[in-house]
Chain A
């Protein structure tokens, strides 16, 4: 394929430079999609956050970000996302390593990947209820306990149901990228298992691990339906409070406030995704 392409363009070297390239047309659907579903809504949120209730340009609405209450929603969101991302990353990585060290075409691996693909998308009321039915109060298992209603540990445990499978999916390619020859090289030079992980495997996987953890973090950050079903009567996180600010039927609805909260989320996600992109770039070198 590559050879054929080179030949085709090589046939008329003189014209290729002069003829305008239309290759960019191929990116139009992608850019259009990103524009309509990502950039436009983000722009609207930012624009609205900078205006007051009556529509004038007004930066003072941003001041609510300094309220202790609002800071509480942001720290709650960060706390929950960090804890659930760490739980997911550690257990998911161990699981991914176990899967990777098995037969690459084996039925176990295929089952794990298929299962993880499904469970990584599991969430919302369905997940909350499944948790309740499985180990909640009525199973008899934890009949008198109520710690799983506590924030953030209880809900973080529920988030693990989709965070761990997601970690398996995104971290497995990195482990698969570890070449057997590297390990053999380490061993032939007299290195122990510890030396191998300390000097070869660990450093190689570190960027992928950190990147995947950030992805899990962002995943938990935007999760809304699960916590809304589980902690229905109290808002701990920014997405929950945004819902209340839009929907309150007791007279506390304030779309402007919701926009400001959303802007805060946009900034957080932007920081995290930049970190993720930088780490991915570093990790990608080893995955080729």
Chain B
């Protein structure tokens, strides 16, 4: 570890990509990493998508600007493994086996559950997904993006699908639900941002719980986050190291920092941003978890559902053919 720190300090820089400062507390994660190791973090294209990340790895390959580390959705991670260098962090054993590639090509880092964030002052308490079809939700419900493009939106449709009695293998009932939502005049197609939430244009947003917390969307106590018991859909992002990283040691040190369990380590920092770190179960048993941050997460009941790679691909294929028809 000491050797790694020395080598990373010698490189002096780390290139990261597509990390919005308000996403999973990344603003502080970057700040703390620089403060701790004195390594400058160059953050490219913070609003980029996972696909943008691997595109940058390819297009900037061999240059000093190429991203060193990636934080990508699983759909992108699984088809891009030829770009990654295997690495096992020192806390490897704390990560559930299903959430990492056996060789360490990718390792899931943090995640959460698909949730409905809403203004309870306006709507009262939401207790089921089907409530959203009611007339008081006229012009109110938005997804986070187009489900044929954004992973969060695809999972939003999948959550509705599970709540409507569909299975993870077929997203058809979810698409039908959004068709009904559109017919009822409740669906809002605009891009949901903190500004549209504040303006009241998108008072109900379906998104990952860690992107939907009151502090992230800049709302007061009346903003609530609901994870339906019959549709606890989990999604995790994954870390990977560019195999041709311009700063290979800094990249590995970054991973060690992200997966460290200390009070000021990456896992607790993510938790403070409302995301569930992948080592959460292990950290709960070894008591290294930030208990107050953990207790402020939205409560989860029911068995979490994880989409397999095939299920996610099938859902995307179905959406490509049917989403536009259902919603226009």
A→B interface (CB under 8 Å):
69, 72, 125, 128-129, 132-133, 136-138, 144, 146, 149, 151, 228-236, 243-244, 246-253
Contacts and interface: CB of A to CB of B under 8 A. Distances in A.
B148 A229 contact: no
19 contacts: A69-B324, A125-B191, A149-B190, A230-B189, A232-B145, A233-B143, A233-B153, A235-B146, A244-B149, A246-B51, A247-B49, A249-B75, A250-B147, A250-B154, A250-B316, A250-B319, A251-B79, A251-B312, A253-B51
A235 B73 CA distance: 22
Interface in B46-81: 49-52, 55, 72-73, 75-76, 79
Contact of B189 (A133, A234, A246): A234
B218 interface: no
Contact of B150 (A125, A132, A228, A250): A250
A69 B148 CA distance: 14
Interface in B142-199: 142-143, 145-151, 153-154, 185, 187-192, 195-196, 199
Given A231-B189, A234-B146, A248-B51, A137 B139 contact: yes
Interface of B: 49-52, 55, 72-73, 75-76, 79, 138-139, 142-143, 145-151, 153-154, 185, 187-192, 195-196, 199-201, 312-313, 315-317, 319-321, 323-324, 327-328
Contact of A249 (B50, B187, B192): B50
Contacts of B76: 249, 251
A243 B190 contact: no
Between B75, B150, B187, B190, the greatest number of chain A beta carbons within 10 A of the residue's beta carbon is seen for B190
A157 to B, nearest CB: 14
Contact of B52 (A146, A236, A247): A247
Between B55, B73, B196, the greatest number of chain A beta carbons within 10 A of the residue's beta carbon is seen for B196
B49 A146 contact: no
B324 A234 contact: yes
